[in-house]
Amino acid sequence: MFQLLIILLSSFSILHADEPYFTRGKANILSNDISPGCQGSRPAALGSFSGPNGTTIIVPSDTKFSSGKRFHDFYNQCASVTPISMSQVELAEMSVTTIDPDGEVITGYILCDNYCELYINGQLIGTDPVPFTPFNSVIARFRVKKPYTIAIQAVDWEELPGLGSENNSGNPYHAGDGGLIAVFSDGTVTDTTWKAQVYYISPIASPDSVQIKSDNTRYTNQLLRNISCGDSCYAAHFPIPSNWMIPGYDDSNWPKALIYAPTTVGVNFPAWIDFTSLWGKNQFIWTSNLVVDNLVLLRKQVYGTTNTIDYMNEIPSFDIQLQDHNIRIASSTSHTDVNLHLYSVLGENLGSYNIPRLERDAPAEITMNPPKGNYLILMILESQGIPLFFKQCIMSY
């Protein structure tokens, strides 16, 4: 077994936030699998290195998996939660974490490759129940006032701790990839307005592979998934700020998240393909390197205001989104006998669609089949004959 090689890129005794600490070879094994017992799962191993100044570095990440509150399952075959449509998702039975009693209830749908934890205004909302595979998706529900701060710890797990690799077709040194997508009921989605910074990079052939660019991107000039260093590969570790998840943390020097298409991330499992209308055209986000950036911290400031006139009486809000031939309708309150009427700008009736019941925070989906063409349309949403919402938009088919 290779001896641990420590390289400090500074003559100071204290490691600064923008200075990587390098290790070489495998980590000391803490656990061969922190979540055994699910058929089809990869072993989620955990390891450690001795760090600078008597510290301990946990790889791939020091998580709250063993102690934190779990997310609600959206799709999780390990827990036998495998819905085939949104109608089978029972949001009303899912608890809500209250941050602000006079805030609004927000529902988030999250798919992590592989593991994630969500903080809202510094408070832990949930931990992923599946650290590695089979690939799952989760639901988070919380009550908060705007503006608020989303902070996510995302981990691309590994089977060989410290080497950032997993077994692929008999090759134990295959470097996997990460990626995260999220859709929230208040309209927040994963895009380039998020900030993302990497804190654990592995495997790398040489410390010289890691560069820090002018925008503070920790860039690794390496894209190959199967580098030849094997057990002698290096890893870069950056000190993690203890308060990175709170609203007041200064992330102004973090680079913007980069977006990746689903085909690039390689999502071809039921938690994704069975709910593409929910995920829509939103993109996965990560840092500059999907392959070797294994521990990524993400932050997003959600602006706006929450106006509560009467805490006991909720003011309904609606969101209508067009995705190809699908219309997705979300409501903050429940309604019965909902009808969506579509008209062109010339007054042509393009169709009416009935939703027997529109559940609070459970988006309904409608498939349209209009003739090919370009439309400037008016959407009218009404319930039991009472107009609820109007929206004008452009559609092309």
Question: Is the predicted pLDDT of residue 342 greater than 80, yes or no?
Answer: no
8 occurs within a structural domain: no
* C-beta of residue 274 within 8 angstroms of C-beta of residue 268: no
331 occurs within a structural domain: yes
325 and 354 co-located in one domain: yes
Which range has the worst mean pLDDT, 35-39, 57-61, 226-230, 250-254? Answer: 226-230
Which residue type sits at 165? S
Q: What is the largest CA-CA distance in the chain?
A: 76
81 and 136 co-located in one domain: yes
- What count of other Cβ atoms lies within 10 Å of the Cβ of residue 102? 12
* C-beta of residue 342 within 8 angstroms of C-beta of residue 369: no
Question: Is the predicted pLDDT of residue 314 greater than 60, yes or no?
Answer: no
Average pLDDT, the chain: 86
184 occurs within a structural domain: yes
Q: Give the chain's domain count.
A: 2
222 and 368 co-located in one domain: no
Of 272, 302, 332, which closes a domain?
302
pLDDT in tens, 278-299: 898 888 999 999 999 999 999 9
Burial of 371 (0-12, 13-18, 19+ CB in 10 A): exposed
Question: Is the predicted pLDDT of residue 9 greater than 60, yes or no?
Answer: no
344 and 226 co-located in one domain: no
294 and 334 co-located in one domain: no
10 occurs within a structural domain: no
241 and 380 co-located in one domain: no
**pTM, rounded to two decimals:** 0.76
7 occurs within a structural domain: no
The one-character DSSP state at 276 is: H
324 and 286 co-located in one domain: no
Instruction: Give all strands (DSSP E) within 238-302, no chain letters.
Output: 258-260, 284-286, 293-302
The one-character DSSP state at 112 is: E
* C-beta of residue 350 within 8 angstroms of C-beta of residue 393: no
CATH number at residue 372: 2.60.40.10
Helix, strand, coil distribution of the chain in percent, nearest 5? 10, 45, 50
328 and 296 co-located in one domain: no
64 and 166 co-located in one domain: yes
CA neighbor of 31 nearest in space, from 6, 68, 63: 63
Average pLDDT score over residue span 104-132: 97
290 occurs within a structural domain: yes
* C-beta of residue 397 within 8 angstroms of C-beta of residue 323: no
How would residue 64 be classed by pLDDT, with cut points 50, 70 and 90?
Answer: very high
Cα Rg for the chain, rounded, in angstroms? 23
250 and 338 co-located in one domain: no
Of 302, 328, 363, which closes a domain?
302
344 and 376 co-located in one domain: yes
Of 247, 270, 302, which closes a domain?
302
Q: What DSSP line would sit under 335-364, residue for residue?
A: EEEEEEEEEETT--EEEEEEEEEE-TT--E
Instruction: Give 6's Cβ-side CA count (13 Å radius).
Output: 10
Which range has the worst mean pLDDT, 218-222, 240-244, 311-315? Answer: 311-315
Question: Is the predicted pLDDT of residue 83 greater than 50, yes or no?
Answer: yes
24 occurs within a structural domain: no
DSSP 3-state of 264: helix
247 occurs within a structural domain: yes
324 and 298 co-located in one domain: no
* C-beta of residue 113 within 8 angstroms of C-beta of residue 267: yes
Provide the residue range defining the domain that includes 121: 46-51+57-302
